[in-house]
Structure 1
């Protein structure tokens, strides 16, 4: 199937009943890409939501991520099988290495993912929160192509270098925190574009990301109204002036940042 570029993120959705309902609602609204992670502790609830929605499995793209404590060869194999069982799927469409930290070892972690692809337990391999040099190293140890690289990306963190890498390597750049936890609503330039289109700043941020051919945003949402509003961003067409206005924001503001993060280890 084609990669559905607007997905539902489920980070911190630990109210499991709510998580399942949110996933079911999103699929009913039209989302076909659901993103979770072992570390979110909600894979089973995501699976329940997928099951309740009743959409043909072949029409859904389900992604999850390996926890940083599960990156040894045997742990990758074992916990990926566990994730598939929790999600209620035979094949995980996209399995990411969530962070190149802790037990990550490219010589162990990545060949295990290749084995899972060969087994058919995983369809595509992804990486998340990698520096460009770490992407280079990963490619040296992977037989499977990098299908996607997931990073924080929004109008105040535009990730130009990683976008260029994605274009050259022909992989997707999947944007988490795509509305910067709604801090986009405080940016005057985005407010102006939103007023021009009778849209919300969050919709403008998502539409801006969707204007980049290599980018796929995965906004988190729980309530039906929020889920629907985000999905409607697909219909918002920004003109060249709007896109340039946001492109020209000269800001670099990370929301997800800590001392051991890869970009702080250079």
Structure 2
């Protein structure tokens, strides 16, 4: 949705107050832990853009709750897999050494949208240390959610996703689908399904010094996430309501992950 389309999609500008009211009507609760995936464009014309969305989310959960957003950095992924555009083969091996040090407070997100990028710059926000799959959090449990993010298996048991699961958090899909639902990656790690192992290197800060860290992971995939999400909504359920000019869905994260583990084992087998 372009800006002209966004204006035409609403009768009057979307505001912090109207977004907060819509989130409350959807069922977002004060004090909860909420993992947010979002599309600013889907909401129509928002006065103040991403800042207004962030303030509305903060107002909905309040300082007693915790907001979490993915702040992934595709520029630190394995360059051999880059395709938009691909880089020459001779660049690949030395690319990690050529990259600037990943700095949680400074390094921008890539392809994550305006809302996560805005929230990660909040003075009270904190960001996890993983150079590819970091998360930023704001609120009462922000530090605990993003602390000690494991380098190995960055969306698995040592990740903020698992911390959200343990806290009984929920997932808000704000104008987006399950194809970007990062909680389903946690289920990939938990499912008894064979996954390809991968290794990569990236420069990070340790004790204030640049260091190359090597880490292991699995080759995750989102190709079947929409089908999985549709089955979850049909069999378990999700709350759906308009937010701005868009549609939002609110889901229990632990129920989603548990369902997805069984779904992967049934649908990704040999």
TM-score by length of 1: 0.29
Higher Rg: 2
Higher strand share: 2
TM-score by length of 2: 0.29
| Greater relative contact order structure (CA < 8 Å, 6+ sep) | 2
